[in-house]
Amino acid sequence: EMFTSVMSVKQAVFAERQLIDYLRTYLENEIQRLDDIKRFFSRVTSLHSGIYNEPSATIANPIVAFKLVKRLKSEWMNVVHSNEAEENIDALREGYRRMEGSLPMLEDVQGAAQGLMRLQDVYDLHVEGLVRGHFQQITNGDAVDIYKPPVSDTLSGDDCFLVGKVAYDLEDYYHSVQWFEEAVRLFRGTEWSPENEGTLEDALDHLAFSHFKTGNISYALSLSQELLLHDPVNSRVHFNVEKYKKLLDDSPPVTNQSLVLKRPDSTYLRTRNVYEKLCQTKGSQPKHFENPRLFCDFFTNGNPGLLLQPIKRELISLHPYLVLFHNFVTRAEAKSIREYAVPGLRRSVVASGVNQSTAEYRISKSAWLKESPHGVVGKVDRRITMVTGLNVQPPYAEYLQVVNYGIGGHYEPHFDHATSDSSPLYRLKTGNRVATFMIYLSSVEAGGYTAFIYANFSVPVVENGALFWWNLHRNGQGNVDTLHAGCPVIVGDKWVANKWVHEYGQEFQHRCSLNPEE
Ligand SMILES: O=C(O)CCC(=O)C(=O)O
Ligand SMILES: [Fe+2]
């Protein structure tokens, strides 16, 4: 599950370096082998254009005759039956096999492709732009960069074919049409390469079928006809051509306007538009000057530990109550927490009934940290207590959860607190998650905002900063205004750490009230 964490993807770079070494050895050996065969070939051909031009005279020479007989029986056989080619390819395959444990799997390719399509959807990115390595939206007919990466790469016809194929296999023809279009366009202009999975014919075939599935029969027909030019004996395509012609005869082609492709439905359609808008912009949270009750200050919480170095506090929202603490950790602390988490990173799970399971809507890896040898986790725990006054010792809070997002990694709108009595969150027997303290352990080049859906604002990643909010009203009910999400990361390696504080143990810090508004 390499695609679920950028950290794991980074490790794949080293695996590829090793493969490059194997391939280099293979090429050197094969070049040597062919050079040897070429030498034999030149020697034999030169004999035939030289001394053998006088056959009767030459063959009369017993040395020449011996060499001819020996060559035909022995030398040719050695060349023709050599195992060297197999030995070389076997060595290459053995090298690849040894690396297999550190190579991505099919699900990684699928996950990475879905990550690209997620970015395409949530940020309304233009596929043609992505293909050229640009992150662009189309605004009033113009392509506008939402982010310009310092290093960029382009996608090949085969890359696009693969993304299209992932969508196609999920019967998602909305995406497959767009990606196969690009694959066909790029394949048309390039020669086939041995590393490719698809060909122009494959792409035409899949694109035609995708168009057929979305109701664009006349386009499916013309693509199939083009395909027959390349593959005239393909009976399946002949059959399809006849089928499409008949369908078009029976009912006139639909106009292009009525064929606007629709994105596949998702489980969170109700909030999707707001969510995506908040990922693209910061939303409509009032600025401090518009709401005088919002403020920034240097905060000590009356705590001697903070007197010399008060913390920069920014009240971002009143409903829900949301505070951003700037420079809550140092760069060195963030780095050591990230490093300490790496060996424990596992695919993130979400509550599912009484259990936990992986889900499309949360793409990241996470690790639960107990105390670290250098004490940084304890230090951070104590600092959380200083600024919030909350008891963060287990079981009154969970261990620190460190999260690393993957390719297009995200966490769709969710509540941190349990919304059902059977939630696995209650296993600690200290009540629900009353508050969330979330630390940004990295910066992000683009994307990755934390979006508060009903509150209608989002917070861009603030490196080393921390967000704090109450998940529950004082009466113990969940506060629906805390519905929030981690937007897909466009470019970057996003890390956060969550400290979830439970109800028990906080009775004096977060007093109860019967007022459902509090
Ligand atoms: O990554 C983010 O911005 C939000 C993460 C989050 O909500 C969570 O881990 O529960
Ligand atoms: Fe959350």
- What is the fold of 275-502? Jelly Rolls (2.60.120)
* Nearest CA residue ID for atom 10, ligand 1: 416
Nearest atom in ligand 1 to 484's CA: 7
Count of Cβ atoms closer than 10 Å to residue 141 Cβ: 5
Q: Which residues line ligand 1 (CB under 6 A)?
A: 403, 411, 416, 450, 484, 486, 496, 498
Neighbours of 263 (CB within 10 A): 13
Q: Which CATH number describes the domain made up of 107-259?
A: 1.25.40.10
Which residue, among 29, 31, 35, has the nearest Cα to 95 in the 3D structure? 29
Compute the distance between CA of residue 84 and CA of residue 171 in angstroms, rounded to an integer. Answer: 45
Q: Please, which residues have CB within 8 angstroms of residue 59's CB and are 6 or more apart in sequence?
A: 65, 68
- Give a three-class secondary structure readout of 321-362: CEEEEECCCCHHHHHHHHHHHHHHCEECCEEECCEEECECCE
Taking only the tens of pLDDT, the chain with its 518 residues reads 888 999 899 989 999 999 999 999 999 999 999 999 999 999 999 988 888 887 777 888 899 989 999 999 999 999 999 999 999 999 999 999 999 999 999 999 999 999 999 999 999 999 999 999 999 998 888 999 999 999 999 999 999 999 999 999 999 999 999 999 999 999 998 888 999 999 999 999 999 999 999 999 999 999 999 999 999 999 999 999 999 999 999 887 666 555 678 888 777 678 999 999 999 999 987 676 677 788 899 999 988 989 989 999 999 999 999 999 999 999 999 999 999 999 999 999 998 888 899 999 899 999 999 987 779 999 999 999 999 999 999 999 999 999 999 999 999 999 999 999 999 999 989 999 999 999 999 999 999 999 999 999 999 999 999 999 999 999 999 999 999 999 999 999 999 999 999 999 888 777 777 777 77
Task: Give the model's pLDDT for residue 444.
Answer: 97
Alpha helices in 60-156 (DSSP H): 62-70, 76-80, 84-99, 106-122, 127-131
* Distance (Å) from CA 378 to ligand 1 centroid: 21
Q: Dig out the tokens for 169 from the structure.
A: 């296999």
Domain ranges of the chain: 14-102, 107-259, 275-502
Q: Name the closest-CA residue to atom 2, ligand 1.
A: 486
- Of 398, 498, 499, 500, best ligand 1 pocket probe by most atoms within 8 Å of the beta carbon: 498
Give just the sign of the alpha carbon dihedral 330, 336, 339, 340. Answer: negative
Q: Tokens 């060909």 identify what position?
A: 199
Helices then strands (H, E): number in the chain?
16, 19
Q: Alpha carbon of 466 to those of 115, 275, 348, 481, 498: distances in Å?
A: 26, 21, 21, 19, 9
Distance separating alpha carbons of residues 80 and 182, to the nearest angstrom: 44
Q: Which atom of ligand 1 is nearest to the CA of 496?
A: 1
Predicted confidence at residue 289, as pLDDT, reads: 67
Q: Which of 279, 405, 411, 482 to mutate to test the pocket of ligand 1 (most atoms within 8 A of CB)?
A: 411
Question: In the numeric block, which tokens belong to residue 411?
Answer: 């966490």
Contact 196, 155 (CB under 8 A): no
Task: Give the span between the Cα atoms of 208 and 7, in whole angstroms.
Answer: 38
Residues 6+ apart with CB under 8 A from 418: 351, 425, 426, 432, 433
| Interface ipTM > 0.95 | yes
Q: What is the pLDDT of residue 292?
A: 76
How many whole angstroms from 486 Cα to the centroid of ligand 1?
5
Pairing of strands 350-352, 489-491: unpaired
Residue nearest to atom 9 of ligand 1 (CA): 498
Q: What is the largest CA-CA distance in the chain?
A: 118
Q: In angstroms, what CA-CA distances link 429 with 87, 424, 426?
A: 62, 10, 5
DSSP run (H or E) holding 485:
strand 484-486
**What is the rounded CA–CA span in Å between residue 105 and residue 411?**
23
